[in-house]
């Protein structure tokens, strides 16, 4: 046997590269009983081994070349890009740079109107909004690896943004390095299946008075810029904002209950990264409270020499400050270890697919008691808080 049948489910990331490169069309990606996609090899397989040769999961992880990584806390200076982003807007800003300044091709994750999550090319700056905001669902790569390769072969700059395993799969597919390829790996906790998310939308449609028009996991408001709240928009135009811990699907995700099997055995959850850049929520944010207070911020890790050279060109697009990388790694779990698989994970995934939502409501956290001071602060617009902060900072500075 010389095919991806050798790849165990607990390491297969479901990228679909094997199905794409099979010269005989003998591999299809199919959902298992828990809703996650895996390759199914048919009897027409000729045992050529090409699928294994391209499989990043089957390969031994090589030690990354020596490069002194640097880490920054940053926030985009473009207010629109920043506001539509889950945290600091790094990915949106670098995407805009590639499109405007380099005439580059940008690939990122989007969610369609039928709640399918997939990767696609962002062809102009107006489409950047489609890839903004966290989508805590496994994204279908579709044909983007082939599209990216074609651009690279033609000498065009390419920016590819994805989870670490997706970036590893892309590089494995390309075989050779390209100087005109730049990658951003996202700090990833793990991914639920798109099937489970669609089942959840079906549940919301059945139990609500109106059907769901859109769902977004992270959303900023004038009162809260951290974005840790889901937004559900109904087809009648009504919107509701729900704290992540109190929204059922988001809560299951946050507790690590519904990830893909390989996420609990992720070889990419480590300081040595796959992308030229690494980006995510800044875990050490509280250590830098005087940096753009009341705003969510990204941590950006520079992982390669060409990323460092590019950073020098784009850093003017951001408010930023150098921060201690080791502290960020320590506080951000996904930068040094993967999530431990819960004992009830399979049962929960089965309940989702079978529509047993009543059995899952216990995982949704009840609203926490909020003190009077915190409640009052939450009702003050961020713009007002910032003005008060700046006035106090000025007065303290004069005293000292």
Tell me, letter by letter, the H, E, C secondary structure of the chain. Answer: CCCHHHCCCCCCCCCCHHHHHCCCCCEEEEECCCCCEEEEECCCCCCCCHHHHHCCCCCCCCCCCCCCCEEEEEEECCHHHHHCCCCCCHHHHHHHHHHHHCCCEEEEEEECCCCCEEEEEECCHHHHHHHCCCCCCCCECCCHHHHHHHHHHCCCCEEEEECHHHHHHHHHHHCCCCCCEEEEEECCCCCCCHHHHHHHHHHHHHHCCCCEEEEECCCCCCCCCCCCEEEEEECCCCEEEEECCCCHHHHHHHCCCCCCHHHHHCCCCCCCCCCCEEEEECCCHHHHCCCCCCCCCEEEEECCHHHHHHHHHHHHHEEEEEECHHHHHHHCHHHCCCCCCCCCHHHHHHHHHCCCHHHCHHHCCCCCCCCHHHHHHHCCCHHHHHHHHHHHHHHHHHHC
398 — pLDDT class (breaks 50, 70, 90): low
| pLDDT recorded at residue 367 | 65
| pLDDT at residue 317 tops 60 | yes
Top CATH class, 4-54: alpha beta
Half-sphere exposure for 344 (CA within 13 Å, toward CB): 11
Name the token pair of 142: 């579709």
d(C-alpha 57, C-alpha 172), whole Å = 9
Which tops the pLDDT comparison, 369 or 176? 176
| pLDDT at residue 372 tops 70 | no
C-alpha closest to that of 195 among 355, 348, 35: 35
Mean pLDDT of 237-250: 92
| pLDDT recorded at residue 4 | 87
Tell me the fold of 70-191+259-335.
Answer: 3.40.640
C-alpha closest to that of 142 among 67, 275, 37: 37
| pLDDT at residue 111 tops 70 | yes
**Reported pTM:** 0.94
| pLDDT at residue 392 tops 80 | no
| pLDDT at residue 104 tops 90 | yes
Domain with CATH 3.30.70 in the chain: 4-54
Mean pLDDT of 218-222: 85
298 — pLDDT class (breaks 50, 70, 90): very high
Mean pLDDT of 325-343: 96
Mean pLDDT of 77-97: 95
| pLDDT recorded at residue 294 | 84
| pLDDT at residue 66 tops 60 | yes
| pLDDT recorded at residue 59 | 85
| pLDDT at residue 86 tops 70 | yes
| pLDDT recorded at residue 223 | 74
Task: Identify which of 140-154, 224-238, 354-368 has the greatest average pLDDT.
Answer: 140-154
| pLDDT recorded at residue 24 | 93
334 — pLDDT class (breaks 50, 70, 90): very high
User: pLDDT tens across 144-186, in order?
Assistant: 999 999 999 999 999 999 999 999 999 999 999 999 999 999 9
Mean pLDDT of 95-124: 97
C-alpha closest to that of 179 among 151, 149, 162, 157: 157
250 — pLDDT class (breaks 50, 70, 90): very high
| pLDDT recorded at residue 63 | 56
| pLDDT at residue 371 tops 70 | no
Q: What is the mean pLDDT of the chain?
A: 92
Pairing of strands 229-234, 181-186: unpaired
Domain with CATH 3.40.640 in the chain: 70-191+259-335
| pLDDT recorded at residue 383 | 72
How many CB atoms neighbour CB 4 within 10 A?
A: 25
Mean pLDDT of 32-44: 95
| pLDDT recorded at residue 363 | 86
| pLDDT recorded at residue 96 | 98
| pLDDT recorded at residue 107 | 98
Give strand ranges (E) for 27-180: 27-31, 37-41, 70-76, 105-111, 117-122, 158-162
| pLDDT recorded at residue 42 | 93
């Amino acid at each position: 046997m010389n095919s991806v049948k050798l790849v165990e489910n607990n390491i297969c990331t479901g990228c679909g590269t094997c199905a794409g490169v099979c010269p005989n069309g003998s591999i299809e990606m199919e959902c298992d009983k828990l809703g996650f996609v895996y390759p199914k090899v048919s009897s027409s397989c000729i045992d050529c081994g090409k699928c294994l040769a391209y499989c990043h999961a089957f390969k031994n992880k090589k030690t990354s070349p020596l490069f002194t990584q640097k880490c920054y806390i940053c926030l985009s200076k473009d207010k629109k890009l920043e506001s539509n982003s889950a945290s600091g807007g790094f990915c949106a800003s670098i995407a805009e740079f590639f499109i405007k300044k380099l005439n580059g091709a940008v690939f990122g994750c989007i969610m369609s109107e039928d709640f399918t999550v997939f990767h696609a090319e962002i062809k102009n700056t107006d489409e950047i909004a489609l890839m903004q905001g966290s989508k805590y669902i496994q994204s279908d790569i579709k044909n983007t690896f082939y599209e990216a390769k074609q651009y690279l072969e033609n000498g065009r700059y390419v920016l590819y943004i994805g989870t670490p395993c997706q970036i590893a799969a892309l590089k494995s597919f390309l075989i050779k390095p390209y100087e005109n390829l730049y990658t951003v790996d996202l700090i990833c906790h793990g991914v639920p299946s798109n099937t489970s998310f669609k089942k959840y939308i079906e549940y919301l449609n059945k139990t609500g008075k109106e059907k769901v028009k859109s769902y977004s996991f992270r959303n900023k408001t004038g009162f809260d810029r951290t974005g840790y709240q889901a937004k559900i928009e109904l087809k009648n135009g009504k919107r509701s904002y729900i704290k992540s811990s109190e929204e059922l699907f988001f809560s299951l995700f946050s507790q690590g209950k519904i990830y893909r099997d390989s996420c609990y055995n992720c070889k990419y959850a480590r300081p040595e990264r796959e992308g030229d850049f690494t980006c995510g929520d800044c875990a050490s944010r509280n250590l830098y409270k005087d940096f753009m207070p009341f705003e969510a911020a990204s941590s950006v890790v520079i992982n390669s020499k060409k990323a460092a050279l590019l950073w020098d060109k784009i850093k003017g697009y951001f408010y930023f400050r150098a921060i201690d990388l080791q502290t960020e790694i320590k506080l951000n779990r996904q930068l040094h270890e993967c999530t431990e698989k819960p004992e009830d994970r399979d049962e929960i995934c089965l309940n989702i697919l079978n529509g047993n939502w009543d059995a899952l409501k216990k995982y949704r956290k009840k609203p926490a008691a909020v003190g009077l001071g915190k409640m009052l602060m939450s009702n003050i617009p961020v713009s007002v808080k910032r003005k008060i902060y700046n006035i106090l900072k000025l007065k303290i500075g004069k005293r000292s």
